[in-house]
């Protein structure tokens, strides 16, 4: 079975969390965003009345007869099918809990540059964005990164959950890379405080399949259209 991943073209966005899992699993997939008319295909499928399980927003994954939406839910599915999460309840739920906490962080990062409305340009809410991003840098990022740092310390294996890589590790890698792009100054400071995060990020980047993926043209750079955006005035 070849998976079909639906996500907006032109940004890594939330689709990237799914791509990383598919790449690490070595699972064959078609990235619809990289095909001609990808965004139109996405919108068509999202609105088609014949679709039994429509998604509120991308990404969504076509897996045979299944159509699965919500990033963390797609990862729950891929984790079970491809050994990217433990099978037993305790580990399976713990990995999902970590993923949902990463999702909360990612949503907060998005809203830092769009605190008033996703439908307005950043430039139309730049003053409010400055206020919200200051709180993100000073309060929320230390709280989140301190939490994941503590989880890594507690576990002691170098991975977030158990002794093997899980989809939560892949997602934390992507989040760290996004934060470094968006807030290079703040992250230099935070990474000297939370020292478990860089080694985890390096371990993920060093996985053979992830390493090959990152060097390929399938990997998209961050940009100022996505979730993680670098606006120099928002970094400090």
Helices (H), the chain: 15-25, 38-47, 71-81, 89-113, 126-135, 141-155, 167-182, 184-193, 197-205, 208-215
Q: Which C-beta is closer to its own copies: that of 25 or that of 151? A: 151
Rank residues 45 and 210 by Cβ distance to its own copies and give the closer one.
45
- Determine contact, residues 41/6, Cβ cutoff 8 Å: yes
Query: Considering the complex, what minimum distance in angstroms separates the CB of residue 167 from its own copies?
Result: 14
- 133 or 220, CB closer to its own copies? 133
How far apart, in whole angstroms, are the C-alpha atoms of residue 102 and residue 144?
Answer: 8
Task: Quote the radius of gyration of the chain (alpha carbons, Å).
Answer: 18
Tell me if 5 sits within 8 A of 30, measured CB to CB: yes
* Complex with its own copies: residue 105 or 210, whichever CB lies closer: 105
Give least dist CB 115 to its own copies, A. Answer: 5
Q: Closest separation between CB of residue 50 and its own copies, Å?
A: 10
Which residues contribute to the site for its own copies (CB under 8 A)?
Answer: 49, 52-56, 65-66, 68-70, 72-73, 76-77, 89-90, 93-94, 96-97, 100-101, 104, 107, 111, 115-117, 119-120, 128, 131-132, 135, 139, 143-144, 147, 150-151, 154
């Amino acid at each position: 079975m070849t998976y079909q991943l639906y996500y907006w073209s032109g940004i890594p966005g939330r689709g990237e969390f799914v791509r990383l899992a598919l790449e690490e699993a070595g699972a064959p997939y078609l990235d619809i965003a990289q095909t001609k008319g990808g965004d139109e295909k996405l919108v068509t499928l999202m609105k088609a009345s014949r679709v039994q399980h429509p998604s509120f927003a991308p990404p969504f994954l076509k897996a045979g007869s299944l159509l699965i939406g919500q990033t963390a839910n797609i990862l729950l599915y891929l984790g079970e099918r491809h050994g990217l999460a433990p099978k037993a309840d305790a580990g399976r739920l713990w990995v999902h809990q970590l993923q949902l906490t990463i999702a909360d962080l990612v949503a907060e990062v998005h809203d830092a540059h769009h605190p008033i409305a996703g439908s307005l340009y950043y430039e139309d809410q730049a003053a409010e964005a400055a206020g919200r991003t200051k709180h993100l840098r000073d309060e929320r990022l230390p709280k989140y990164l301190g939490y994941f740092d503590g989880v890594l310390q507690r576990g002691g294996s170098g991975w977030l959950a158990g002794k093997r890589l899980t989809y939560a590790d892949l997602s934390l890698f992507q989040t760290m890379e996004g934060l470094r792009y968006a807030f290079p100054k703040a992250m230099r400071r935070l990474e000297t405080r939370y020292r478990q995060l860089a080694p985890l990020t390096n371990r993920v980047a060093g996985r053979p399949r992830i390493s090959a993926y990152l060097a390929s043209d399938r990997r998209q750079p961050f940009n100022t259209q996505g979730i993680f955006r670098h606006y120099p005035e928002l970094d400090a």
